[in-house]
Chains A and B, each alone.
Chain A
Amino acid sequence: EAAVTQSPRNKVAVTGGKVTLSCNQTNNHNNMYWYRQDTGHGLRLIHYSYGAGSTEKGDIPDGYKASRPSQENFSLILELATPSQTSVYFCASGGARGPDGQLYFGEGSKLTVL
């Protein structure tokens, strides 16, 4: 079954440290996304990608970088982690450009920055 898998599922980091969240999809979808979920804010889009080699800024990109080295993999990078980046992060993949828009999500990565 097609799936989106994230790693690590739980991460504790120190302020100023570097954090990389990884995402792999077997859906063969062109589009991939990184969201963060916070109480009272729902899911907010950080970065997304149309395909290998492309990354686009979402609604809250500050403090985050993204990398899409292949169709299957999409990483979210926090070069200098801060406590405000403590959150649950979700990766998703979606179909080709078109009017559908359905997303397929991973199980989430809980990040705590101390």
Chain B
Amino acid sequence: QKEVEQNSGPLSVPEGAIASLNCTYSDRGSQSFFWYRQYSGKSPELIMSIYSNGDKEDGRFTAQLNKASQYVSLLIRDSQPSDSATYLCAVNDQAGTALIFGKGTTLSVSS
């Protein structure tokens, strides 16, 4: 059974702070890793994808991957109230196969 684990939160940070979201996965064969943001009642929207060990930065977002530890994280710098949402970690083991999602971490950014 392939599993993706996330702390459900809520994670509360003040506006302007760094939010750190973590995810672990069980399948060592996982190849692709994704972070999605989901607002209540809406479908997920892609924030970032990462495939290689190390960091990948895109604007205020940085994804970090450590395949040896089976760990992937997302850092959000200068957090804004509009970042308040549920963040879903997703992985797959082969290009084109279905994504397996974690339960998500709820982030709350207070102004």
A binds B: no
Point out residues on A near B: beta carbons under 8 Å. Answer: none
